[in-house]
Structure 1
């Protein structure tokens, strides 16, 4: 029985978050948490909290299940809203700055 956790509108570009998602995809949950805890990238903190949330959701669904059997079945990162801002540029012009954000979905499951 799989469990899902979602992180919505996190203000980091999807490309940066996908680097972390690729790291933990298919890993056992304990190993994925250890990798995220020692990763220097700033989106590692919310990604770790998201994996912990997915574990907690799985525990709610499966009362007698063992957490040691869990692995990260699926992780995907989608683009979310983009805030458009203007930055001053030479000769009275303005450059557009796109502040991107993303949605992350983590699915954990027990090995059968």
Structure 2
């Protein structure tokens, strides 16, 4: 999904239903917020977290959207906003002793990345 905010000329990319807790994604997003594109790619490639893979795909999608749809040079872009919203929780049950059931919650999240040109 691509959207541009005309007032601030931001381009948006969203990755939905990522099978990961939003809390774990936010700790990576806090590190890349406000950084320029080349630095973000380098950080995400070398961070040891599983969330980096999905965040990197979303950042690359936002950069491609800005280049292709709006003609903005990728060398001039930086991350203006980055946040993770909670998605639906998948509920599963594990059989336990004496006929009981143990609830397993599998969280999902939606990753939102905004990129914009440097002023």
- Same fold, judged at TM 0.5 (above): yes
Residue matched to 1:22: 30
Question: TM-score, normalised to structure 2's length?
Answer: 0.87
Gaps of 5+ in 1: none
Q: What SS does structure 2 have at the residue aligned with 1:104?
A: strand
Match of 2:48 in 1: 40
Give the Cα separation in 2 of the matches to 1:43 and 1:8. 13
Alignment of 1:1-112 (within 5 A): 1-63=9-71, 65-112=72-119
- Alpha-carbon deviations, 1:31-68, whole Å to 9, x = none? 011100111211211110110000011112332x3322
* Runs of at least 5 residues in structure 2 that lack an aligned partner in the other structure: 1-8
SS at structure 1 position matched to 2:13: strand
Using the size of structure 1 for normalisation, the TM-score is: 0.92
Q: What secondary structure sits across from 1:81 in the alignment?
A: coil
Q: How many residue pairs align between the two structures? A: 111
Give the structure, 1 or 2, with the largest relative contact order (CA under 8 Å, sep 6 or more): 1
- The CA deviation at 1:75 is 0.5
